[in-house]
Amino acid sequence: MKTKSFQEEIYSDILIIGGGIAGATTALEAARQGLEINMVIKSAGVEGSNSYWAQGGIVSFGDDDDPELLREDILQAGDRINNPAAVDLLVQEGKKTVDRLLIKELKIPFARSSPDKLDYALEGGHSRRRILHVEDATGQRIITAFYKRLRQFPNIHFYFDHTAVDLLTVPHHSRNPLSYYRPPRCLGAYVLDNKSRQVKKFIAPYTVLATGGCGGVYQFTSNPRTTIGSGYAMALRAGARIVNMEYIQFHPTSLYHRDADGFLISESVRGEGARLKTRDGRTFMEKYSPQKDLAPRDVVTRSIYQEMINTNSNYVLLDLVSYARIDIKKRFPYIYRTCLKYGIDITKEPIPVVPAAHFCCGGVLVDLWGRSSLKGLYAAGEVACTGVHGANRLASTSLLEGLVWGTRVAQHIAENFRPELPCNPSQIHPWYYPKNEEPVDPALIHQDWATIRSTMWNYAGIIRTSKRLERARADLEYLKHRVDKFYQEAPMDPEIVDLRHGLLVALMITYAAIANPESRGAHFRQD
Ligand code: SIN
């Protein structure tokens, strides 16, 4: 039995779901055009997004660089199943957008090699030093500057601590039978206020998904734990096209420590010369790639995985101190401080590391303007699949993609803006709450997540086989019956909403991996 209660309806020209670089860029560019924007953000503050935690930096052009070289590096990392038009767009627009938005407008204090020269870092898969960075905390500086700027616009309204539950679509959520005769269209979202536990209807003629990725469905991840792919799940239920979900990129180096929960050791550490070694001190990347420790991420990850098996070890070592020609504390202050907290002094000893789920190269299929296959729905950033990354993303291109597509989404909406909604909002279904007031038992949620995460790590992780994937499918499908029932009967709770999203995303990855027998980039089959 379900009941209806008063439901707040909140209107805007654009609803943006997610608060990382893609959402923030869309908001800024659309706000300048005078559009009213609601931003729904799951976390209580700005630090909930992957963008905030990005260490390495953002791709620009180095001194001896050439657009053609960057293009080739992106295609090579992506195993040439990238969308060439999207790669060209990123290469053409990237540096211009960085200069205009980040350097001129937000005044991000990118590191300099001399007072009038920017410092360019190197990362795996790049043939040139071309990555702008602010020490090793680039994302924090960019996102903090963005929100300072966004708060100057009275037409941007922030809804922190709000969890998107489902996209509102017509005809699906319409009570008007005539709406079946019109093309499906998105007009906002049902959103849970995490504090009041009330579901609000956010209504807008344009909705932008900028919810980030889904590393949180894996046992080991560099992402914040709350990054569970809500955007993919909502888009799938709304009927938008989703592609390439099997291409889950694993970052080769996260800190191996019981309490560190996937703390990233930036690829730029290897860019400054660090080398991977087995626990008994042997380098090994020369066996696997001519690019050695700076090979693309998928290659380095699988090499580490293989060496861990060969040496029967749970981790390998990343040795910076023996090779670095830099002031380690100055170049990597954040990594230095964090490792020290866990008892590892990176100026004196190698860092124990393991791979961790890091980035989803697939997602909601969008065109060069960020339009999805569902009218009224745009996507930008990691949740979107523009095709830039193909089967494996080149390091430090994700902030850039969010910036470029965030700009284009805002531009497209502003240039084509029509305020009409596809149906009268009074015809949209109210949210029905279950009558059950009994609080959710956290042990159930904890155990369900443990099952999802270990299943994904062991059966749909770095190395995949038909048998493992089939086992993942069966176990996750079984769990889905229980979680769907749990969701329908329990009082509204952000934890359950996320569990339902995350389980669907785990299934999406698993089904995509089953359907693709070919090893390419981050999807590696061993059967
Ligand atoms: C890193 O610093 O290694 C992460 C950068 C990225 O994922 O592009």
Coil, helix or strand at residue 16: strand
Task: Determine the CATH number of domain 252-355.
Answer: 3.90.700.10
Which residue's C-alpha comes closest to atom 8 of ligand 1? Answer: 396
pLDDT in tens, the chain (527 residues): 566 666 799 999 999 999 999 999 999 999 999 999 999 999 999 999 999 999 989 999 988 999 999 999 999 999 999 999 999 999 999 999 999 999 999 999 999 999 999 999 999 999 999 999 999 999 999 999 999 999 999 999 999 999 999 999 998 888 888 888 889 999 999 999 999 999 999 999 999 999 999 999 999 999 999 999 999 999 999 999 999 999 999 999 999 999 998 999 999 999 999 999 999 999 999 999 999 999 989 999 999 999 999 999 999 999 999 998 899 999 999 999 999 999 999 999 999 999 999 999 999 999 999 999 999 999 999 999 999 999 999 999 999 999 999 999 999 999 999 999 888 888 888 888 887 778 889 999 999 999 999 999 999 999 999 999 999 999 999 999 999 998 988 899 999 999 999 999 999 999 999 999 999 999 999 98
Distance CA 283, CA 277 (A): 4
Q: Does the beta carbon of 163 lie inside 6 Å of ligand 1?
A: no
- Look up the pTM and report it: 0.95
Other Cβ atoms within 10 Å of 177 Cβ, number: 9
Tell me how far apart the alpha carbons of residues 16 and 5 are, in angstroms, rounded to a whole number. 25
239: left (phi over 0), alpha (psi -120 to 50) or beta: left
Asked if the domains 252-355 and 442-491+493-515 are classified in one and the same CATH topology, the answer is no
Q: Is the CB of 267 inside a 6 Å radius of any atom of ligand 1?
A: yes
Give the pLDDT score at 5.
Answer: 60
Nearest to 476 by CA among 527, 518, 514, 516: 514
Indicate which atom in ligand 1 lies nearest the CA of residue 394.
8
**Cα–ligand 1 centroid distance for 222 (angstroms):** 10
Find, among 71, 62, 72, the residue nearest to 89 by Cα: 71
- Atom of ligand 1 at shortest range from CA of 396: 8
Distance 370 CA to ligand 1 centre (A): 23
Q: In what order do the strands lie in the sheet with 363-365?
A: 242-243, 363-365, 384-385
User: Which atom in ligand 1 lies closest to the alpha carbon of residue 359?
Assistant: 7
Ligand 1 pocket check for 249: Cβ under 6 Å: no
> Which of 254, 268, 294, 400, when mutated, tests ligand 1's pocket best, judged by the most ligand atoms within 8 Å of its CB?
268
CA of 324 to the centre of ligand 1 (A): 19
Tell me: the pLDDT tens digits for 430-469? 888 887 778 889 999 999 999 999 999 999 999 999 999 9
Q: Best of 251, 320, 338, 388 to mutate for ligand 1, by most ligand atoms within 8 A of CB?
A: 251
According to the model, what pLDDT value does residue 438 have? 83
Predicted pLDDT at 437? 77
Distance 134 CA to ligand 1 centre (A): 13
Which pLDDT belongs to residue 4? Answer: 60
Residue 401 CB less than 6 A away from ligand 1: no
CB atoms closer than 10 angstroms to residue 209: 35
Instruction: State the closest ligand 1 atom to the C-alpha of 358, by its place in the atom list counted from 1.
Output: 7
Per annotation, catalytic residue among 270, 275, 297, 500: 297
- How far from 24 is each of 38, 99, 234, CA to CA, in Å? 11, 17, 20
Nearest atom in ligand 1 to the alpha carbon of residue 267 is 3
Contacts of 290 (CB under 8 A, 6+ apart): none
Q: Coil, helix or strand for 17?
A: strand
- pLDDT of 367: 98
Q: Is 138 in the pocket of ligand 1 (CB under 6 A)?
A: no
Q: Which helix (H) or strand (E) holds 86?
A: helix 84-97
Is residue 254 lining ligand 1, measured as CB closer than 6 Å? Answer: no
Cα–Cα distances in angstroms (integers) from residue 421 to residues 83, 109, 218, 345, 376, in the given order: 32, 42, 38, 58, 10
Model pLDDT, residue 173: 87
Q: Which helix (H) or strand (E) holds 63?
A: none
CA of 66 to the centre of ligand 1 (A): 21
- Ligand 1 contact via 268 beta carbon (within 6 Å): yes
Q: 442-491+493-515: which CATH architecture?
A: Up-down Bundle (1.20)
Domains of the chain by residue range: 9-56+137-247+361-430, 252-355, 442-491+493-515
> What is d(CA 367, CA 443) in angstroms, rounded to the nearest whole number?
42
The Cα-based distances of 441 to 347, 395, 444, 445, 494 in angstroms read: 45, 40, 6, 7, 13
Q: How far is the CA of 262 from the centre of ligand 1 (A)?
A: 13
For ligand 1, pick from 132, 264, 301, 401 the residue to mutate: most ligand atoms within 8 Å of CB: 264
- Is residue 396 within 6 Å of ligand 1 at its C-beta? yes
- Residue labelled with tokens 């905390």: 137
- Is 12 a pocket residue for ligand 1 (Cβ < 6 Å)? no
Ligand 1 contact via 26 beta carbon (within 6 Å)? no
DSSP 243-262: E-TT-EEEEEEEE--TTTSS
Q: Which two tokens stand for residue 459?
A: 């059966």
Active site residue 297: yes
Q: What amino acid is encoded at 79 in this protein?
A: D
Tally the C-alpha atoms within 13 A of residue 75's C-alpha that lie toward its C-beta.
14
Check if 398 has its Cβ closer than 6 Å to any atom of ligand 1.
yes
Cβ 266 under 6 angstroms from ligand 1: yes
| DSSP codes of every residue in 95-163 | HHHIIIIIIIIS-----EEETTEE--B--TT-SS--EE-STT-HHHHHHHHHHHHHTT-TTEEEE-SEE
The CATH class of the 9-56+137-247+361-430 domain is: alpha beta
Distances (CA, A) of 424 to 4, 176, 429: 19, 9, 11
Residue 1: per-residue pLDDT = 52
